[in-house]
Amino acid sequence: MEITGKLDQLGNMLMNASGIWEDLTGNDRSELMSYAMAGDPSIGALSWATMLALGELDSLPSPTLPAVQKSRQTVRNERASSGFHPTIAAYPNPAADRVQISYLEGMEQGSLEVFDAQGRLMTTLNLNGQKAFKEVVVQNYPSGLYLVRLSRDGYLLGETKFNVTR
């Protein structure tokens, strides 16, 4: 099903519930949960957020879940023509003290750079072969929007954004 078809399906679910997510029937709730758990980038985050608001889920995805079940930002680089679309994600978002940057297998030899909204470099972290995620301490960062870039050997592998709130 294409993205618009899935969004249409979510819209139909909401219309069937008379515009109130809490009034979803069992079948629609099950389908919404399957969208959330599948981590589909087109509607996964919306489905997850809806299930969280309905109390069907009690937390955001843990850092051990696939990155597609978290905030997702896909970037293209010089390798895009080969179908290579790596993903990195920031969790939790917004963050207060720490944020975990998750990335796909094969990216663990790169480095992370964190920039503030004015483009100033806040920190650089080498991944040194660490798989799955790297924790960034943000307790001393002012509130605002931050950009994380993951690169290796001069190639941009991915980027994502996160907010720090106080």
Instruction: Give the tokens for residue 70.
Output: 């978290």
> What's at 75, amino acid-wise?
V
Q: Kindly indicate the confidence band of residue 146, based on its pLDDT and cuts at 50, 70 and 90.
A: very high
Tell me the pLDDT band of 62, cut-offs 50, 70 and 90.
Answer: very low
Q: Are 110 and 150 in contact (CB under 8 A)?
A: yes
Mean pLDDT value across the chain: 77
Task: Give the pLDDT score at 50.
Answer: 76
Helix 26-38 × helix 44-53 angle, to 10° = 130
Strands 133-137, 98-103: pairing kind:
antiparallel
- Are the C-beta atoms of 48 and 57 separated by less than 8 Å? yes
Report if pTM > 0.85.
no
What confidence score (pLDDT) does residue 73 get? 36
**Structural domains of the chain sorted by starting position, each given as residue range(s) with its CATH number in brackets:** 3-53 (no CATH), 67-164 (2.60.40.3080)
